Amino acid sequence: MSLNMRAAVAASALLVVISMGAPATAQKPGGVLRQYMIDSPASMSIHEEATIYAQRPMMAVFNNLVLFDQHVKQNTLDSIVPDLASGWSWSEDGTELTFPLRQV
């Protein structure tokens, strides 16, 4: 048997052994999702930090006046929705933007 043929047989046997491993199990619903981050944020200010390492964990802590609708695939001006604000309006001359805050 040639060297290439032996390598092919060995690779095939290895694939068969690997495929015969333990069956896949489904995740159980509920619980806590833990996500590993490769870096620690320099601060917890989402306004001062531009990295995903500060933004991702802190977005659940801070609210914004408005944000993009999370159910829309592409962000556009039409997909901006109120968060802390209950809406917004421009002054007649277009120089002031007013955000009435949501009452809790």
Q: Is 69 domain-assigned?
A: yes
pTM beyond 0.75: the answer is no
Q: Is 14 domain-assigned?
A: no
Q: Is 34 domain-assigned?
A: no
Number of domains, the chain: 1
Which of 49, 77, 75 lies closest to 62, judged by CA? 49
- pLDDT digit string, tens, across residues 62-100: 788 898 898 999 999 999 999 999 999 999 999 999 999
- CA dist 64 and 43 (Å) reads 18
- pLDDT digit string, tens, across residues 45-61: 777 777 777 777 777 77
- CA dist 41 and 55 (Å) reads 9
Q: Is 59 domain-assigned?
A: yes
User: CB-hemisphere CA count at 13 Å for 64?
Assistant: 14
Q: Is 26 domain-assigned?
A: no
Q: Is 99 domain-assigned?
A: yes
Domain limits at 71?
44-104
Contacts of 103 (CB under 8 A, 6+ apart): 86
Q: Is 20 domain-assigned?
A: no
Which tokens is 1 given? 């048997």
Q: Is 25 domain-assigned?
A: no
